[in-house]
A and B are shown apart, each in its own frame.
Chain A
Amino acid sequence: RKEVEQDPGPFNVPEGATVAFNCTYSNSASQSFFWYRQDCRKEPKLLMSVYSSGNEDGRFTAQLNRASQYISLLIRDSKLSDSATYLCVVPNQGGKLIFGQGTELSVKP
Chain B
Amino acid sequence: DTEVTQTPKHLVMGMTNKKSLKCEQHMGHRAMYWYKQKAKKPPELMFVYSYEKLSINESVPSRFSPECPNSSLLNLHLHALQPEDSALYLCASSQLDGGETYEQYFGPGTRLTVT
Binding site for B on A (CB under 8 A): 31-32, 34, 41-46, 49, 87, 91, 95-97, 99-102
Residue in A34, A45, A87, A91 whose beta carbon sits within 8 Å of that of B42 in the complex? A87
Tell whether, in the assembled complex, residue A45 and residue B101 are in contact, meaning their CB atoms are under 8 Å apart. Answer: no
A sample of 11 inter-chain contacts (CB < 8 A) reads A41-B88, A41-B111, A42-B109, A43-B2, A43-B107, A49-B103, A95-B101, A96-B45, A97-B45, A99-B42, A101-B41
Residues on A with beta carbons closer than 8 Å to the beta carbon of B43: 44, 99
A21 to chain B, nearest CB (A): 14
User: Which chain B residues (71-98) contact chain A, with CB distance < 8 Å?
Assistant: 88, 90
Is B17 part of the binding interface, using a Cβ–Cβ cutoff of 8 Å?
A: no
Chain B contributes a number of interface residues (CB within 8 A of A) equal to 21
Give bound CA distance, A31 to B101, whole Å.
Answer: 8
Binding site for A on B (CB under 8 A): 2, 41-43, 45, 48, 56, 88, 90, 99-109, 111
Best-surrounded residue of A87, A99, A102 (most CB of chain B within 10 A):
A99
Give bound CA distance, A61 to B56, whole Å.
Answer: 33
Give bound CA distance, A95 to B107, whole Å.
Answer: 21
Give bound CA distance, A85 to B105, whole Å.
Answer: 17
Give bound CA distance, A95 to B48, whole Å.
Answer: 11
